[in-house]
Structure 1
Amino acid sequence: MRKNCIVSIALWLAFPAIAFTQVPDKTPAAYVNPFIGASTSVGAAGIYHGLGKTFPGAATPFGMVQLSPNTITGGDNGSGYSDEHKTIEGFAFTQMSGVGWGGDLGNFLVMPTTGPLQTASGPIDHPEQGYRSTYAKDQEHASAGYYSVQLTEQPIKAEMTAAPHSGIMRFTFPENAQSRIQIDLARRVGGTATWEEVKVVDDHTIAGYMRCTPDGGGWGDGVGKADYTVYFYAQFSKPLRHFGVWSADIPDTWGRKLEDVTSERYQQQVAKAAVLPGLRAKAGKHLGFYTEFATTSQETVMLKAGISFVSIAGAKANLKAEIRNWDFEKVQQAASKLWNNALGKMKVTGGTEEEKTVFYTALYHSMIDPRMFSDVTGQYPGGDGKVHQQVGFRKRTVFSGWDVFRSQFPLQTIINPSVVNDMINSLVTLASESGQHYLERWELLNAYSGCMIGNPGISVITDAYAKGIRNFDAQQAYTFARNTAEKFNNGPQGYSSGGLSISLTLEYAYANWCLGQLAHLLNKADDAARYTSRGGEYRNVYDPTVGWFRPRNADGSWQAWPKEGRMLQGYGTIETNPYQQGWFVPQDVPGMVALMGGKEKVLADLDTFFAKVPENMMWNNYYNHANEPVHHVPFLFNELGSPWLTQKWTRAICTRAYHNSVEGLVGNEDVGQMSAWYVLAASGLHPLCPGSTQYEITSPVFSSITFTLDPVYAQGKQFTVVARNNSAENVYIQHAWLNGQPYTHSYLEHADIMKGGKLELEMGPLPAKDWGIR
C-alpha cells in the first residue's frame, strides 16, 4: 500500500492536473448484481428446495412489472429462470422472486424469432423444434432496471427495461425477410392461462387479457388458489402489416395443470396450433399473437406494453403515463434513478467491493415485493372480484408471510414504513372485501393460498403498530387479527397435534403473544391478558423425559420418539427438524431457557448447533440459514448474556452464506427475507422478536451504515451505525456510544433510531465479555 502511495505522489508531481480528476463514487444501483441467487439448482443446493430462485430481469422498486427471461415452464422454477439452463423460452412481463411451490405469473411471454413460425416453445434438448433459443451466457448482462442477452439459434440481441406498470423491449435483428415478434398469451410459470383474448386495435397496437385460474395450475399447481387476470396494452415500433393469431385446440376433457401442460401430448397439440393470418380478434384456450416483417442487418424493433390486473383501459393508462415514446435509454435511465433513490436510503462505507455488491443486491432484492397491485389511476381488483379505488394507501400484493415477518418487514419499518403501512391496509381491505374477515398468511394476487403455517399477519401488524406505523384502521385490523387467532390456533388443549405439532404449536404461541401485545397497545386489557397467556403454549409440547420439544397426539399422548431424536427432518415440523424449530420461542426466551435446563446448558447446546454447520452453510440439520425458522437464533446469545457470540456468528453467516455469485444465496430468497436478513445483520441491527420494539445489536460488516429516515414516521433525518477499527478480524464490540454517551445495552429501541443520531461501536479482535451483558 505504501508503494502505491509513493507512485501516486510521483504522478501528482509530474502531472498536477491529475489531482483534480476524481473517479466518481459508484452509485448504489451500480453495485447491484441481479444474477445473485438466480439459480434453482437442486443439485447445487443439496436439497429439493433449491437455491436462491431469484430472476435477473428488469424491475423497479416494488413495481408491478418484471421483464425477465424465462428458461423452463416445468419444475420447481418459481422465478421462471435458472442460470444453469441452456435455453430461453422467452421474456415475460411478470415474475415472482425466490419462491418454490411451482411458482406463478410469467405472463405475456415475448420472443423474437426468424424463419417459419413455430407455435410451441419446443423441448429443452431440441430447441430448434420450437421458438425456444440457445443463448450466449458470456453475452448475458443485467443491472438494476436492465437486462440483455444474445440469442444464438438466430443472432438476435434482446434488451429490456421496466417502468413501475409497464416495460419496453428492444430487439436487434439480423438481415432476414421473415423476422418476427411473437407472444405466447397462454404462458404461465407452473401451468397455463386457461382463457385468453387478443385484438388488433390499430396498425401498431394490440390489447387483450390472459385469465389464470387454479384449473391452469400455477401457485401450488392450483392448490394455492391463484385466480387472476392480466390485461395488456402493447405497441410495436414497426407497423402491423403481416400479423396473425395461433390457436391450439385443447379438448375440454384435457387437464390444464403443470403435468398436463408440459406433457408431450399437450405440447404436440400446441405445436400444430391453427395459424390464422390477418385475424384481428380471437378468444380461446391457448392463443398466441405474431407480427412479421423484413429486417436489415442490426435493425432494431421495439415492443412496449402496459399491464394491469384491472382492465385493458388500466393497462393503456399505465403505458401512456410511463412510456410515451420509443426512447429506450430514457426508460432505462428512469429505472436506474428509481433504484438509486430507493437503494440510497441506506449508505455504507468500508467493507470490500464484494461486500458492497452483496449488500446493495440484497437491499435490491428486498424491494421487489410487496409489489404494486393498483394502476396509475388508483384502481385495483378487490377481494370481492370488483374494481375498487384505493384511498389513503397504495394497494400491494405478494405477502410471503411465514418468511417475511422475521426480517423483511422489520427492515421496511425503518427504511420504507409507508410500504409496511400499505401492505397492512392491503391485507385488511382484502379480509373485508373477500368476506373472509381474517388475515391470509401467504397472499398472492388476492388469493387466500393457505401456503405455510402460523399467523404472520398478526406479527406484521403488531410490529408496525408498536413502532408507530398506524395509518390504517387499527380497530378493524385488530378484529381481523383476533379472528385469525381464533380460526388458526392450538385449541382448548393448548397445543396442536398431528404431523406438524411442534411447528404449529410454537408458531401459534408466538402469534398469540403478538396479539396480546397489540391488544395491550389498544387498551383491550382482557384480550391482552388472554393472548399473552396463550403465548406460553409452547411449553405444552416440551417433553422433559427427552429434554426437547416433541409432537403430541390429539389424546395428549406423545408421538413415538425416533432413533434420530430431535435431528429427524419433518418430525412434528415443517421444513425443519425439532432441533431447529425448537428455538422458536422469541417471545419468552427466559421461559424457554428455564424449560431447557438453564443458561449454561442452553449455551452449550447452541455451541453445538453452530459449530457443526458446514463451512458453506448449505442445507443442514444444525443452524440452517437456508430456511427461515432459525433466522433469529444467532441473536439469542444477546439475551443469554453472551453477546460476543451473536457478533461472532452473524459475521460468520454474512461471510459464509452470502456471495457475489449466481449460487450466492444458500436457500430460497423467499420474497426478500433471505436478503433482508443480510441487510439488517450487516448493519449491526436485527430483531429477535418482531412485535417487540427492540433490535439486537451485533457486529456490522461495514465501517458505517446510514439509514435515511422517512419524515412522516421519524423525528430525525438519519441514523448512523459506526464501527471503528472494523475489519474481518475485528468482529467483536468492545465499547459503544449512543449519541456520544456510553451505551451498555446489547439492544436498541426503534424509537432511538427514529429520533436520528449515531450508534458508535469500538471493534476489536477478542470478545469484550463485560459489554452488553443483560
Structure 2
Amino acid sequence: MKKILTFAFSAAVSVTVAQQKPLIDYVNPIIGTGGTAHTYPGPTVPFGMVQPGPDTGFGLWEHCAGYYYNNPTIIGFSNTHISGTGVGDLGDVMLQPATGSVKTERGDEKIPGSGYRSRFSHDDEKASPGYYQVRLLDHNVNVELTATERAGLHKYTFPRNADSSYVILDMGHVVTSEKGKTIWGFIQVVNDSTVLGYRLSKALATERYMYYAIRFSRPFSKFNLMKFQERISVAHPVQGSGDEVKAVFRYTTKHDKPLLVKVGLSAVDADGALANLDAEIPHWNFDKVKKQAEDKWERELSKVTAVKADNKTKTIFYTALYHTMLAPTIYMDADGRYRGVDNKIHQDSNFLNYTLFSLWDTFRAEHPLFTLLYPERVNDMITSMLMHYKQSAYRVLPKWSFHANETWTMIGYHAVPVIADAYLKGFKGFDSELALEAMKASANAPFEGMEYYKTIGYVPIDKEPEAASKTMEYAYDDWTIAAMAKKMGKTDDYNIFLKRSANYKNVYDSKINFARAKLLNGQFKTPFDPLHMRYGGDYTEGNAWQYSWFVPHDIGGLMTLMGGRDKFSAKLDTLLSMKETVNDMSGEQPYDVTGMVGQYAHGNEPSHHIAYLYNYADQPWKTQETVHKIMTRLYNNTPDGLAGNDDCGQMSAWYVWSALGMYPVNPAGGVYSIGTPSLSSATINLQGGKQLVVKANNLSMANRYVRSIKLNGRPYKKTWITHELLYRGGIMEFEMAGKPVKNWFTGNDLEAEKMLNK
C-alpha cells in the first residue's frame, strides 16, 4: 500500500550515488501474475486511469486481473485492469490483432485456430514499467503496449507477407471472476480510422460506464459490425449496439510498417474520450509515449534511491513500490470533468479526482506510505473521498468504491482512518470540518449491525454475519475519529467516539483469550473453534486466532484482557508456531487466507500488523525474527512471488515499510513500530528537498537482529519512531547482529500508544 532525522535538524543530509542502471530496470511486473496475487503485467503510469494489457481468461478466480501467468493463450488486449483484488472487473475495449481468415469467436485455448485467441510464449514476452510486449504465435503478430494517464497506445507488427489481417474489437468482454457481463455496448465507425462508443457493464461495480475513442494510424480497408456472431443489418452500417457487439476492422493489403492504435477513455462521454486521447497522444510516436511513461515511473520510484541490496531484494523492493502506485487511480478527464457516485457529471479544476479505493486493505499500510512518499497526492485522494460523501445517496464515505460505484465490499468504514491519519500528520489541503462530518456520518450509518453496535456495544452474530470482526474494526475506526476530533477541539465528539473505541472489549472472552461472536442476548456463540473460518461466519476472511489481535489503537488494553505481557507474548508464540492449517468445519474455507506462518496468514490483511506486536511486550527481537521470516519466505522474484492478493498494493506496501525497517501497527497517528530492514541502505527523498537515510550496518541473512540504533549519530533506544521525526530528514542507522539482542532498548511501543492517547 505511500526518511530519517537529526536532533539538530539544521541541514538535510545530501547523498550522491551514481545509479548503475535506471530504477525501472529493477521492477518486474510479472511478480504476482501467478499464484493468488492477481496482479497484471501491462503498462500504465503512476496512478493512471488506463492499463492496456493482455487478458488470458475470464470467469475464474485467477482471472481477476485478466492475465494469469500459467494460461497458454491470450484472448486479447483490453485497456483497463485492477491490480491484486479477489473479485474481477474492467477489461474495457478489448482489441486483438490477427491474420488469416476472420474469426469472431474467442475459441478454445485447447484447440489452436478455433478462434481469434492466440498462443504465446513467456520467452517472447517482456513487461516493464510503462511497456509490455508479446508475440502472438498463432497470428505471428508482435504486440507492444504503452500508456498515458487516460489513453493507451497499441503497436501491432504484422508479418510482411500477410495478405489479410484484421483487428477485433470485442465489447462483450469483461474481466471478472464471477458472472460479470456487458449490459450494453455501442460501436460507431466515424470514418476509416476513427471509432467511438461506450460500454455499460455489471460485475463488481453494478452500473459502470466507460466511453472510448479509437484512432488507427492506417485506414482500414473494410469493417463489419457483429452481434451474436452475425453481421448487423446493412441498414445501419456504421454503428451497432448490444450486449455482445463486436467489430472487425480488416486490412486487405500488406503492412509495410507497424499499425498503431490509440485508445482514449472517459467515464463522461465519447467526446471526453476523444479529447483525452488527442490531449495526451497528439502524434504517432510510440517510442516517445513509452519514454514519457518510463520517465514518470523513474521519477516516482526515485522517492527511494541509493538502495544497497542484492539484485533479488532490490527487484522485490522496487516492484513492491511500483505495485503501491497502481491504485487508487485517476478518474477525471483532462478538462476536469468526472462521473460522480451519484452518476452525474461534475467538473472541478481544484483537485484531481481519484477512484478505486480498496480501503479495507489499503488503510493499513498503503495510505500511510503515501503520506511519507507521495504527500502531494494525499489531499486530492481525501477530497475525492469527501466528494463521494457529498454525492452519495447514503451520505457516507467510500467503503470499497471505484468508477462511480460503491460496491459495499468488505467491512468497516475505513476511509475514516485514512482521513484521520492525514489530518493528524498535518495535511491541510482538504476541508477538515466536512471531513469530520463525513466521518461521523459514516460511523453512524444504519448498515451492517451499526444500530446494535451503538446501543449495546457490539454487533450480534444472530443479527449480522461476521459480527466479531465488525465490532473490532468499528472500534478501531471510532478511535481514529476520536483522535481527529480531539485535535480539532471537538470535545463532545472525542468523548463519544473514544468510548465507542473500547467496544472491542465486549466481544473478547478473557476466559479463553479469544475475540468471539456474541448473541443478542449477551451470550457468546457456541460451539466455538478458534480455527474455524468461512465466508459469512463469525469473522471476515479469518478465524479467532487471526482476528483476536485487531486492536491497533489499544494493544495495552488487549494485553490486559489476555492477562498481561507474558501471556500476551506466549500467545503470539503459539500463533506463529502452530500447524499451518485451518479446521474447516463448514467446507467453505476462504481462499483469501494464504501465506501461513503458523496461524498467521500473511496472504490476507487482518494479520499484517501482528508480527510487530512483540514490540509492545518488550520482545522486539521476536518481531525482527518474524518479519525477516515473512520477507524472505513469502516474497520472491517469481510470478507467484506474493503470498496472496496484492489488494491494490497493500501486500506490497507491507514489504516497502518492512524493508525500510518499520511498520504502522496503528495506521493513524504517525507512529511506526521498528522491525528489521532488508536493505543495507536506502535514501528516502522527502518533500521539500530533505532526505532520510536508513542504514543497516552488517546486515546479512544471519544478521537479522537489531544490536543498536543511532538517530543522527545519537543512540536511539525506542522500539518505535514518529512520522514527525522521520519527515525532518536525517540518518537512522541500524547495527545488526546474528543473535537476539535484548537490552538495546529502554522504551517499547506501549509508550507510543500512551502518547497517542494523551
Q: TM-score if structure 1 supplies the norm length?
A: 0.88
1:136-175 correspondence runs (5 A): 136-174=121-159, 175=161
8 Å contact from structure 1 (residues 440, 448) kept in 2: yes
8 Å contact from structure 2 (residues 167, 249) kept in 1: yes
The answer to whether residue 719 in structure 2 is matched with residue 753 in structure 1 is no
Quick one: distance in 1 between partners of 2:65 and 2:456? 41
Quick one: distance in 1 between partners of 2:67 and 2:122? 13
Quick one: distance in 1 between partners of 2:439 and 2:594? 36
What's the CA shift for 1:324? 1.7
Quick one: distance in 1 between partners of 2:217 and 2:596? 48
Q: Specify the alignment match of 1:518 in structure 2.
A: 484
1:491 counterpart SS class? helix
Quick one: distance in 2 between partners of 1:81 and 1:400? 20
Deviations 1:263-297 (A, max 9, x none): xxxxxxxx456486992222333211221113547
The answer to whether residue 743 in structure 2 is matched with residue 770 in structure 1 is yes
Quick one: distance in 2 between partners of 1:238 and 1:741? 66
Of 709, 712, 729 in structure 2, the residue corresponding to residue 739 of structure 1 is 712
Quick one: distance in 2 between partners of 1:247 and 1:650? 54
Deviations 1:507-556 (A, max 9, x none): 11111111111111111111111111111111111123333222111121
What's the CA shift for 1:765? 1.2
**Letter aligned with residue 27 of structure 1:** P
What's the CA shift for 1:692? 2.0
The change in CA–CA distance for 1:23 and 1:277 in structure 2 (over 3 A counts) is farther
Q: Specify the alignment match of 1:371 in structure 2.
A: 329
Q: Specify the alignment match of 1:414 in structure 2.
A: 372
What's the CA shift for 1:741? 2.0
Q: Specify the alignment match of 1:75 in structure 2.
A: 60
What's the CA shift for 1:621? 6.0
Q: Specify the alignment match of 1:428 in structure 2.
A: 386
1:339 counterpart SS class? helix
1:177 counterpart SS class? coil
1:625-640 correspondence runs (5 A): 625-640=602-617
8 Å contact from structure 1 (residues 35, 55) kept in 2: yes
1:187 counterpart SS class? coil
Q: 655-664 or 151-160, which moves further after superposition? A: 151-160
The change in CA–CA distance for 1:620 and 1:274 in structure 2 (over 3 A counts) is farther
8 Å contact from structure 1 (residues 243, 278) kept in 2: no
The answer to whether residue 192 in structure 2 is matched with residue 203 in structure 1 is yes
**Letter aligned with residue 131 of structure 2:** Y
8 Å contact from structure 2 (residues 212, 264) kept in 1: yes
Of 156, 161, 170 in structure 2, the residue corresponding to residue 184 of structure 1 is 170
What's the CA shift for 1:173? 1.1
Q: Specify the alignment match of 1:64 in structure 2.
A: 49
Deviations 1:163-216 (A, max 9, x none): 11111111111222220111112221122221122222233211111122x3xx
1:193 counterpart SS class? strand
Q: 191-200 or 291-300, which moves further after superposition? A: 291-300
Of 443, 447, 455 in structure 2, the residue corresponding to residue 492 of structure 1 is 455
Of 212, 218, 227 in structure 2, the residue corresponding to residue 238 of structure 1 is 218
Quick one: distance in 2 between partners of 1:276 and 1:673? 51
The change in CA–CA distance for 1:402 and 1:453 in structure 2 (over 3 A counts) is same
The change in CA–CA distance for 1:207 and 1:663 in structure 2 (over 3 A counts) is same
**Letter aligned with residue 128 of structure 1:** G
Quick one: distance in 2 between partners of 1:301 and 1:613? 56
What's the CA shift for 1:436? 2.4
What's the CA shift for 1:24? 6.0
8 Å contact from structure 1 (residues 245, 276) kept in 2: no
Q: 578-587 or 734-743, which moves further after superposition? A: 734-743
8 Å contact from structure 2 (residues 533, 541) kept in 1: no
**Letter aligned with residue 607 of structure 1:** D
Quick one: distance in 2 between partners of 1:433 and 1:501? 29
What's the CA shift for 1:299? 4.3
The answer to whether residue 291 in structure 2 is matched with residue 302 in structure 1 is no
The answer to whether residue 670 in structure 2 is matched with residue 693 in structure 1 is yes
The answer to whether residue 70 in structure 2 is matched with residue 84 in structure 1 is yes
Gaps of 5+ in 1: 1-21, 42-50, 220-224, 249-270
State the percentage of identical aligned residues.
36
Q: Specify the alignment match of 1:11 in structure 2.
A: none
Quick one: distance in 1 between partners of 2:231 and 2:642? 41
The change in CA–CA distance for 1:275 and 1:767 in structure 2 (over 3 A counts) is farther
The answer to whether residue 694 in structure 2 is matched with residue 721 in structure 1 is yes
**Letter aligned with residue 184 of structure 2:** W
Q: 687-696 or 482-491, which moves further after superposition? A: 482-491
Quick one: distance in 2 between partners of 1:486 and 1:227? 26
**Letter aligned with residue 653 of structure 2:** A
Q: Specify the alignment match of 2:21 in structure 1.
A: 26
The change in CA–CA distance for 1:200 and 1:617 in structure 2 (over 3 A counts) is closer
Q: Specify the alignment match of 2:105 in structure 1.
A: 120
Q: Specify the alignment match of 2:8 in structure 1.
A: none
The change in CA–CA distance for 1:297 and 1:241 in structure 2 (over 3 A counts) is closer
The answer to whether residue 642 in structure 2 is matched with residue 665 in structure 1 is yes
Quick one: distance in 2 between partners of 1:436 and 1:418? 30
Q: Specify the alignment match of 1:15 in structure 2.
A: none
Q: 522-531 or 295-304, which moves further after superposition? A: 295-304
What's the CA shift for 1:725? 1.5
1:477 counterpart SS class? helix
Q: 354-363 or 375-384, which moves further after superposition? A: 375-384
Q: 684-693 or 195-204, which moves further after superposition? A: 195-204
What's the CA shift for 1:419? 2.2
8 Å contact from structure 1 (residues 638, 772) kept in 2: no
2:252 counterpart SS class? strand
What's the CA shift for 1:620? 6.6
What's the CA shift for 1:75? 1.3
1:194 counterpart SS class? strand
Quick one: distance in 2 between partners of 1:94 and 1:27? 27
1:604-643 correspondence runs (5 A): 604-612=570-578, 618-619=595-596, 622-643=599-620
2:708 counterpart SS class? strand
1:587 counterpart SS class? coil
8 Å contact from structure 2 (residues 577, 597) kept in 1: no
Q: CA RMSD in A?
A: 2.0
8 Å contact from structure 2 (residues 74, 119) kept in 1: yes
8 Å contact from structure 1 (residues 658, 664) kept in 2: yes
Deviations 1:622-652 (A, max 9, x none): 1110000010011111111111111111121
Q: TM-score if structure 2 supplies the norm length?
A: 0.90
Of 204, 209, 214 in structure 2, the residue corresponding to residue 229 of structure 1 is 209
Of 373, 381, 390 in structure 1, the residue corresponding to residue 339 of structure 2 is 381
Aligned residue-pair number: 706
1:428 counterpart SS class? helix
Deviations 1:409-440 (A, max 9, x none): 11111011232222211111011023321112
8 Å contact from structure 2 (residues 305, 684) kept in 1: yes
**Letter aligned with residue 166 of structure 1:** A
**Letter aligned with residue 185 of structure 2:** E
Quick one: distance in 2 between partners of 1:284 and 1:589? 56
1:293-372 correspondence runs (5 A): 293-296=251-254, 299-372=257-330
Deviations 1:594-631 (A, max 9, x none): 10111111111111222337699734761110000010
Quick one: distance in 1 between partners of 2:454 and 2:640? 42
Quick one: distance in 1 between partners of 2:479 and 2:519? 24
The change in CA–CA distance for 1:613 and 1:656 in structure 2 (over 3 A counts) is farther
What's the CA shift for 1:112? 0.5
Moved over 4 A (4+): 272-278, 566-571, 613-617
Deviations 1:564-610 (A, max 9, x none): 44455565101101010101011101110110111111111111222
Higher relative contact order structure (alpha carbons within 8 Å, sequence separation ≥ 6): 2
Deviations 1:370-397 (A, max 9, x none): 1000111111112222221223321000
8 Å contact from structure 2 (residues 308, 682) kept in 1: no
Quick one: distance in 2 between partners of 1:127 and 1:106? 23
**Letter aligned with residue 286 of structure 2:** F
1:279 counterpart SS class? coil
8 Å contact from structure 1 (residues 348, 702) kept in 2: no
1:207-286 correspondence runs (5 A): 207-212=196-201, 214=202, 218-219=203-204, 225-248=205-228, 271-272=229-230, 274=232, 279-286=237-244
Deviations 1:674-726 (A, max 9, x none): 00000010011211101122011111111112211123xxxx61112111122
8 Å contact from structure 2 (residues 533, 539) kept in 1: no
8 Å contact from structure 2 (residues 695, 731) kept in 1: yes
1:36 counterpart SS class? coil
Q: 160-169 or 540-549, which moves further after superposition? A: 540-549
1:586 counterpart SS class? coil
2:629 counterpart SS class? helix
Q: 724-733 or 613-622, which moves further after superposition? A: 613-622
Quick one: distance in 2 between partners of 1:501 and 1:196? 40
The answer to whether residue 558 in structure 2 is matched with residue 578 in structure 1 is no
